[in-house]
A and B are shown apart, each in its own frame.
Chain A
Amino acid sequence: MNVLVYLVPMALALGLTGLAAFLWSLRAGQYEDMDGAALRILDNDDMGDNTQGGR
């Protein structure tokens, strides 16, 4: 059972990472426009912009 000593904290840390990532994405406004995000990905005209460090 000694294996629990590091397995349980590891599992919790992974879970907390997920939670933190979700809270970050929420704060960054990634859920403000769900329909738009689905469509923006189809738009490949921004490829050129990206290479120049565009938005």
Chain B
Amino acid sequence: MAETLDLSLFVRHHEGTAHMDLAVEGVGCAACIRKIEGGLKRIPGVVEARLNFTNRRLAVDWREDELAAADVIAALEDIGYQAHPFEPERAEAEEAQHMRWLVKCLAVAGFAAMNVMLLSVSVWSGNLDMSQETRDFFHWLSAMIALPAAAYAGRPFFQSAWRAIKARALNMDVPISLGVIAALGMSLVETAGHAHHAYFDSAMMLLFFLLCGRTLDHAMRRKTRAVAGNLAALKADFAHRFEAGEVVRVPAAALRSGDRLLLRPGDRVPADGVVLSGTSEIDDSLVTGETARRAAVAGAAIHAGSVNFSGTLTMRVTAAGTGTLIDEVERLLEKAVTAKSRYVRLADRAARLYAPMVHATAALTLVGWLAAGASAHDAIVTAIAVLIITCPCALALAIPAVQVVASGALFRAGVILNAGDAIERLAEIDTVIFDKTGTLTLPEPRVDNAAKLPPDLLERAARLALSSRHPLAAAVAREARARIPCEGAIEEAGQGVRAMIDGAEARLGKPAFCGIPDEAQDASGVSTIAFSHAGRAVTLTVQQKTRPDAAGTVAALRARGLDLLILSGDRPAAVAPIAAHLGIADWRGGLNPAEKIAAIEALKAKGRRILMVGDGLNDAPALAAAHVSLSPISAADITQAHADAVFLGERLAPVLDAVTIAADARRLMQQNLWLAAIYNAVAVPVAILGYATPLIAAAAMSGSSILVTLNALRVGVRKGSSAEPAGALATAGAP
């Protein structure tokens, strides 16, 4: 393929050297690192090549005058790896920065907590025979460590609490910040007054535990974000653009309105536009869910995501939003997104209930002791002890800990979360709505009668099909076990491919091309392709098949007590057999995006909480309107952006796993909240009565934190049901 590849979009320049980031497929072992880095560094002009094994990304620097970006990718292909250039997202860089900041805070808090605890233990164990000077010395030393450390390491909480207060809201960070500041302030005053007890250790330990939770949460999110970024790079489309009479291959992201593109059979339409010349059939199944192909002639509007089926077309890219369908989808999307009420997370709901209660209890303690005749000093100390001991260590860890373990379990099941609160919303659903095309069925058509064909013929047909770009041939090629193309295959435009196999000519293509009388094709979305070899000929039927485990997954979802529906954009005649096969009685076909939303709104009005699973462009508004949404990785880009989570692989099981894991997670979150409440119910009376010495506070706080964390670990423990990692995950960067 002697076509120019233009990758300037992905290359960054710096003083004569160029830099590019690539997502690499198929990296799996230690030897890969050496093969890739060593292989690249041997090429003259390459300055540096560094593979990050954790996220399967390769950073390459080369001297611009000696090498081009396309050469780097070609070199990698020679070594045996598919690499996809990749635009590092701004959000990812910011997250990396935030992560480093959190880890720095964690390190400082850990250092301070350990040293202060060392001093505190000495005070507790020596309090009987320790001289006052020594105790004061230890307390002042603790203050000198704890105050600067808390000012540094507490910033994630202080900043978040301040933001919440400025917005006149309450989050969990408000009571945390208040507790820490009160503990440090009171301890400082007590130290100045030569008192027996100071709470520096409690404050630092609290910060350390909470930072642990927050860092883990963030690390998990970064990991899924990295995998999602790689998958996007793997999926990214290239377009063939006419530039001064030459066809140049450019990434779809570089296309501008007005560009003229060449679309060959089997190409995915990279951008919205109109056909300029040529005739072909267009497969719109990713856009509207319609499985029957439509004719495309000059002047027809075509949408990004459709597949050009049979002929070569030239098209012009038009500005987004001029196509009638895209227009409607975007208008509906905007409406659905603005209408969506902001979901209040469980942790914030708990904080709203909890913070006023804690502060009222502390105030009542103060008033109570004053009324009972205690000195103002003693009353304040006791009230602050209540604040410290109720400082929501367990409560603040209760939910993030579960979240981390649950998103890890989801990740292993092949579900990548887009939204942080998706787990909580997933746990609340009572209705699941499926799209048909590409969701219940596989995104690409398959050979339907493969089982009935002679295996040797099928294998040869599949090997021959590897040489053709036609979508029907691609379906046949998927049946191949060995992915070795036939040598010397010749493609005859509009007819098929032929090649010599074992000394006899083999042909794959239109039935007439293979010497079989052409049958009348019906409009049911079933296509036929024929294969002949050495006098034997077979007809292969190709059509959309349901995902291999669809029936089992649907049955399991129903067994969980969920209502199931199909809302499809495809013709009712195409939906009925699938609905019957899966046993879903409630289905509707031929819906446009507005009608899908109307159906969802009607259910929502009845108080249903809906999980929408869909992949088409026409599903995007419905996904945004539903309570929570999932889409397969093959979905249209806009659709994926509006889904709360994306699932990988050919199977439908990740939908079931997502629902199961989320339900488990929610149960454990609630359990954890109860554990934290019980802890408070025991600890608060002790504090109110004035028995909360620093030793008791430290033991109670660490005990409860460890308890909720251990409880959270139970999310992943459940039988590894169907947690077989999807193939895409392994190549895209799973551990």
Contact = CB atoms under 8 A, between A and B. Distances in A.
Interface of A: 1, 4, 8, 11-12, 15-16, 18-19, 22-23, 26-27, 31-36, 39-40, 42-43, 45
B162 interface: no
A49 B398 CA distance: 50
B141 A1 contact: no
A23 to B, nearest CB: 6
Contact of A15 (B100, B115, B141): B115
Contacts of B107: 19, 22-23, 26
Interface in B87-144: 100, 103-104, 107-108, 111, 114-115, 118, 131, 134, 137, 141
A4 B54 contact: no
B29 interface: yes
B34 A31 contact: no
8 contacts: A4-B137, A12-B145, A19-B108, A26-B104, A33-B54, A36-B54, A40-B33, A45-B34
A39 B53 contact: yes
Contact of A42 (B30, B51, B103, B141): B30
A36 B111 contact: no
Question: 7 tightest CB-CB pairs across the interface, nearest first?
Answer: A36-B53, A39-B30, A33-B52, A35-B54, A19-B111, A35-B53, A33-B54
A15 B33 contact: no
Contacts of B118: 11
Interface string B38-53: 1000000000000111
A42 B122 CA distance: 45
Contacts of A45: 34, 38
Nearest to A12: B115
Nearest to A37: B53
A31 B103 contact: yes
Given A26-B100, A31-B103, A35-B53, A43 B111 contact: no
Contacts of A43: 30, 33-34
A18 B114 CA distance: 12
A19 B137 CA distance: 23
B33 A39 contact: yes
B454 interface: no
Interface in B5-53: 29-30, 33-34, 38, 51-53
A26 to B, nearest CB: 6
A39 B28 CA distance: 11
B104 A23 contact: yes
B735 interface: yes
B141 A8 contact: yes
B103 A35 contact: no
B104 A36 contact: no
Contacts of A40: 30, 33
* Majority SS at the chain B contact face: helix
Contacts of A15: 111, 114-115
A20 B54 CA distance: 25
B733 to A, nearest CB: 10
A4 B34 contact: no
B29 A39 contact: yes
Contacts of B103: 26, 31
A7 B42 CA distance: 55
Contacts of A26: 100, 103-104, 107
A8 B33 CA distance: 46
A4 B123 CA distance: 14
A34 B735 CA distance: 11
A16 B111 contact: yes
A54 B29 CA distance: 23
B730 to A, nearest CB: 13
A33 B134 CA distance: 46
B735 A35 contact: yes
Interface string B42-83: 000000000111110000000000000000000000000000
Nearest to B134: A1
Contacts of A4: 134, 137
B109 to A, nearest CB: 11
Given A19-B107, A19-B108, A36 B51 contact: yes
Contacts of B53: 33, 35-36, 39
A33 B33 CA distance: 12
Contacts of A33: 52-55
Q: Which of B51, B100, B134 has the most A CB atoms < 10 Å from its CB?
A: B100
Contacts of B54: 32-36
Nearest to B99: A31
Interface in B642-679: none
A37 B155 CA distance: 31
A11 B107 CA distance: 17
A24 to B, nearest CB: 11
A35 to B, nearest CB: 4
Interface string B698-735: 00000000000000000000000000000000000001
Contacts of A39: 29-30, 33, 53
Nearest to A9: B141
Nearest to A41: B30
Nearest to A27: B100
Q: Which of A16, A34, A39 has the most B CB atoms < 10 Å from its CB?
A: A39
A27 B145 CA distance: 23
A23 B111 CA distance: 12
Nearest to B38: A45
A18 B118 CA distance: 16
B227 to A, nearest CB: 13
A11 B34 CA distance: 43
A8 B100 CA distance: 30
Nearest to A16: B111
A39 B53 CA distance: 9
B248 to A, nearest CB: 35
Contacts of B30: 39-40, 42-43
Nearest to B149: A19
A33 B54 CA distance: 5
A55 to B, nearest CB: 9
Contacts of B51: 36
A26 B99 CA distance: 11
A12 B112 CA distance: 10
A34 B54 CA distance: 6
A36 B108 CA distance: 27
A31 B111 CA distance: 19
B240 to A, nearest CB: 36
Nearest to A31: B103
A40 B30 CA distance: 7
Contacts of B33: 36, 39-40, 43
A30 B108 CA distance: 18
A53 B54 CA distance: 27
A4 B55 CA distance: 48
Contacts of A11: 115, 118
A22 B80 CA distance: 38
B116 to A, nearest CB: 11
